Chain A
Amino acid sequence: MTTNGAPPPVLSLKGVNTHYGAAHILKDVDIDIHAGEMVCLLGGNASGKTTTLKTMLGYLRPSSGTVYMDGENVNGWSTAQRVGHGLTMVPENRRLFKRMTVKENLEIGAYLRQSDDLDADYERVFEMFPRVKERLTQKAGTLSGGEQQMVAMGRALMAQPKVLLMDEPSMGLAPVLVAQNFEIIEQINKAGVTVFVVEQNANMALSIADRGYVLQTGKIVLDDTSQALLANPQMRAAYLGDV
C-alpha cells in the first residue's frame, strides 16, 4: 500500500468481496478516499451501498480483500477501534437513540473522546444547527425528520471524525431539506472533514462531490470526477433522469 511520497488514502477498499451467508454482495470493490476529499458512491436500491459502508466500519468482514485506514490493514480491527481511529457514520434513516434526549444523543457521539471538555464541540454543532440547541432536552424520537437529520449529523460531528460516512442523507426528506442538508455536508467538508456520501440522488450528490463511484449489483462500474460523471451519457441515462 505504500506509495512513494504521497500520503496513503485515509480510507480504502482493495479487491473487497463481502457475503451475507452464501449471497455474494460486494464483488472486487476498489475505493480510495483521500484526505479532505468529498467522494460519493451512487447506486440504485439493493446495489450494495450500505453493505460497502458496513464493510468499511467493520460490521461486516470482507471474505477476501482488505480495508485500509491511512495505509494500514484494519481487517482485524473492531468497529469500536475503527471509530476510535476517526471513522464515523451517519446511518441510513438517521437511527437516533429515540428514547434518549437530544443532548444524550450528542454525548454518545463523543463517547470515545478522551477529553471531558465538549463545550467547544457543542458550540460547533449549535452553530451549524441552531434548531438542535432549542431541542436539547427533547426526546430524539419526537423530532421531525429534518431535525433528526441535524441531530444525527451533530452526533457524528461530536466524535470529531476524520472521515465521515453518510448513508443516504436525502432519504425521506423534503426537497428543501435535502438541499439544505447537502449545503451542510459541503460545509463540514470545507472545515476539513473527509466525507464519503452514499446516495441514490445522483444529481444532488455529484453537485457537491469531487469524485464519484457508481455501484451496480455489487460491482463498481464507473469511477470518475463529478464533472465527467455528470457528462457521461451512460450515467445520464441510468441515474440522472435523462430519457
Chain B
Amino acid sequence: MVLVAATGMVATFQPRLVIDPIVPLGILFLYLLAFAFGWMAGQPPATLEGYEPATAGSRNVLAGALAGLLGGLCLGLLLIAITVFDLRGVFINMSPELAEILGFGLPVAAAVFVIAVASAFMGALGAGVHLLSRRVRRALIGALTAVIVFSVLTDLFGQLFAGLSLEPVIDFLYTGRGGALTIIGSVVIFGAFIVLFWWMEGRDSTLRQRVQAMPKGQRSRWQIGAALIILVILYFVPRIMGPFVSQILVTAGIYLLMALGLNIVVGYAGLLDLGYVAFFAVGAYTTAILTSPQSPAFNPEISVLASLPFVMVAAAIAGILVATPVIRMRGDYLAIVTLGFGEIARILLNSEWLAPVFGGAQGITNIPDLQIGPLTFSTPQDYFYPIFLFVLLAAYVTFALQKSRWGRAWMAMREDESVAEAMGVNIVTAKLSAFVVGAILASFGGSLFAAQIGSVFPHTFDIVVSITVLVIIIVGGMGSVPGVTLGALVLIVLPNLLREFSEYQFLFYGVLLIVMMLKRPEGFIPSKRRAQELHTEELSQDAWLEIYGEKGQAEQVPEGAV
C-alpha cells in the first residue's frame, strides 16, 4: 500500500470519483489492497486428501484483520513521515496533497488511527468472505467487481449505451457520460449482479454439459449458430463503440496478430525471440515504401493490398536473415542475440545513412488507405474488419500448424533438440520455418498498422513492442489461441480504456506477470498441453541427466585435425 501511495497512483486516481460523491478511486484502490491482503491471509489452508477440511473460523478473520492492520499501520507511518519531514526531495510523489488524501483531512494522529482501523476492517472483511457459503461469496464478490468495472470503465459503458441509443440509462447510472456512478446507480448494479450471479450458480456448467450431451449433428448446428451470432455482434461492434474504442480494438487486434505469430516462435518452437518488433517494422516499412508517394528512394505507389505479397516476401527474407546466425544458439544466447537484432532494425531505420531509403527520423508519411475493390478503409471503425479477418486467418494457421508435421517437429525440437534431430527432424529447416511463419504474421500486423496510421516512424518500433507481445502470450497462455486473445484484450484494451492507468501500464504488466507466474504459470487460458506440463509433477527418474548432446561445441571439431 505504501508502494502504491508512493508511486503517486493514489494522487492520480483521486480526482476520479467512483461513486459520486462518496468513493474516490484512489482511496478505493488502497483499501481494496487491504481487502486483498485480508483475503490472502484468511485463506483456509489447502485441503489435503484424507484430512478433515479445515473449517474457516474467527481465526481466519483475525488473520485477515491483522494483515489489513499491518498494511494500514505502514500507511500511517508513511503519513507521519510525509507530514513531519519533507520527503519530496527524494520521492516526488510524496506531497502534502497526498497526505491530505490519505489522512481524510484529519489531524495526523486521528488520521493514523482511522487508517489503521479502516484497513483492519477491510482486511477482516476480506478474510470474512471465506466464511460465507460458496454461492453467497461468489454473488457478493461478483457484484462488487461489477460495480467497480462499471465505474472504472465509465467511458466504455457510456459509449456502449450511447451507441445503443440508451442515453437515459447513462443518466440514471452515471453523473453524465464518462462521469462517476451515482449512488442509486451503484446500488442498482450491485443488486442486479447479485441476482444474476445467484441465479447463474451451477447453471453455466449444466448448460455446457447439455451442449456436450447433444448428438453430434445438433451440437455442431448449435456451435455454428453461436458462431454466427458472435459474428453478427462483432459486425456491429465498431458501429456501436465509436472511433475511440474502435481504435483501441484495432490496436489490440494488431498486437494480437503479432502475439499469434510470436506464439508460434516461442510457444511452439521454444525459440525465445526478443527482437520480434523487427518483423513488425519490416511489414510497416515495406508497405510504406511501396505505397506512399513520399517514399524517398523508390515510390511505385502501388495499393496497400498489392503490397501484401511483397510484405510477405520481405518478412520471409527477414525471418531467414535473423534465424540463420542463431540456428545453433539456445536459450539465453538466442534471446540476447534476437534482442540485438530488434534494436539494430530500429537504429537502421532511424539512421542518417539509410535516410534516403527509410526517411530517417522523419519516417514515411502519406501512406494511402487500404482499399479492397470498391471499399476504402479509413476510420478505425473501418479497420476493425480487415484486422479481424487477419486475426482469424492467423488463428486458423496456428491451429492447423499445431496438428501438422511442422507443428510436431517444432514441439519435439522445443522438448529436446538433439533427440528430435535423431528422429529425423531437420533442425535448420524447423527453426527457419518457425521464424519465417512468425515473421510473416507480424509483418501483416505492421502493414495494416502503417495503412491505418498513415505514416511510419522509427521510434514506434521500440523494444517495448517486443516485450508487450511477449507479455501477452505469457499472461494469456502460451500455445493457446483463446488465451493469447484474452491476453491482448486485457493488456492492450484495459490500460487504454483506463485513462488514469496508462501511466502505470508497465507497472500493471509487471504486477500481472508476477502474480501470474506465482498463481497460474500456464496463463489465463492455457493450452491443454501447457497446463499438463506445468502442473503434473515430473516423475522422471533421470531428469538430472540432461547433459548428453551439446552439439554446439561439437561443431567446432576440425581444429588441429584433418
Instruction: Write the residues of chain A forming the contact surface with B, with a CB cutoff of 8 angstroms.
Output: 17-22, 24, 50, 54, 57, 59-61, 63-64, 78-80, 83-84, 88-89, 91-95, 97-100, 104, 107-109, 111-112, 139, 141-145, 148, 155, 159, 172
Is A142 in contact with B425, judged by CB distance below 8 angstroms?
A: no
Is A79 in contact with B412, judged by CB distance below 8 angstroms?
A: no
Given A79-B424, A83-B423, A108-B409, 17 more pairs with CB closer than 8 A:
A20-B553, A50-B548, A59-B549, A61-B557, A64-B562, A91-B419, A93-B548, A98-B543, A99-B533, A112-B423, A139-B532, A141-B536, A142-B537, A143-B539, A143-B540, A145-B542, A159-B424
Is A83 in contact with B422, judged by CB distance below 8 angstroms?
A: yes
Residues A141 and B408 in contact in the complex (CB < 8 Å), given A64-B561, A93-B545 = no
Is A61 in contact with B558, judged by CB distance below 8 angstroms?
A: yes
Instruction: Write the residues of chain B forming the contact surface with A, with a CB cutoff of 8 angstroms.
Output: 405, 408-409, 411-412, 415-416, 418-427, 529, 532-533, 536-543, 545, 548-549, 551, 553-554, 556-562
Q: How far is the CA of A44 from the CA of B376 in the complex (A)?
A: 74
Shortest Cβ distance from A140 into B: residue: B540
In the complex, what residues of B have CB within 8 A of residue A60's CB?
554, 557
Name B541's contact: one of A89, A107, A172 (CB within 8 Å).
Answer: A172
In the complex, what residues of B have CB within 8 A of residue A141's CB?
536, 538-540, 543
**8 nearest interchain CB pairs?**
A63-B561, A112-B424, A83-B424, A97-B415, A80-B426, A99-B533, A141-B540, A93-B542
Shortest Cβ distance from B425 into A: residue: A111
Output the residue of B415, B422, B539 with the most chain A CB within 10 A.
B422
Residues A21 and B538 in contact in the complex (CB < 8 Å), given A83-B424, A91-B548 = no
Q: How far is the CA of A139 from the CA of B416 in the complex (A)?
A: 15
Is B559 in contact with A94, judged by CB distance below 8 angstroms?
A: no
In the complex, what residues of B have CB within 8 A of residue A111's CB?
405, 408-409, 412, 423-425
Residues A63 and B557 in contact in the complex (CB < 8 Å), given A50-B548, A148-B540 = yes
A-B contact count (CB 8 A): 130
Is B539 in contact with A100, judged by CB distance below 8 angstroms?
A: no
Shortest Cβ distance from B548 into A: residue: A92
Q: How far is the CA of A61 from the CA of B529 in the complex (A)?
A: 36
Is B422 in contact with A99, judged by CB distance below 8 angstroms?
A: no
Is B425 in contact with A80, judged by CB distance below 8 angstroms?
A: yes
Output the residue of B415, B416, B424, B554 with the most chain A CB within 10 A.
B424
Name A78's contact: one of B426, B537, B541 (CB within 8 Å).
Answer: B426
Q: How far is the CA of A95 from the CA of B541 in the complex (A)?
A: 11
Q: How far is the CA of A202 from the CA of B338 in the complex (A)?
A: 48
In the complex, what residues of A have CB within 8 A of residue B424's CB?
79-80, 83-84, 111-112, 159
Name B542's contact: one of A78, A79, A88, A172 (CB within 8 Å).
Answer: A172
Is B548 in contact with A19, judged by CB distance below 8 angstroms?
A: no
In the complex, what residues of A have CB within 8 A of residue B422's CB?
57, 59, 79, 83, 88-89, 91
In the complex, what residues of B have CB within 8 A of residue A54's CB?
549, 554
Q: How far is the CA of A29 from the CA of B49 in the complex (A)?
A: 59
Q: How far is the CA of A95 from the CA of B543 in the complex (A)?
A: 9
Residues A159 and B540 in contact in the complex (CB < 8 Å), given A22-B560, A60-B557 = no
Shortest Cβ distance from A172 into B: residue: B542
B318–chain A nearest beta-carbon distance, Å = 25
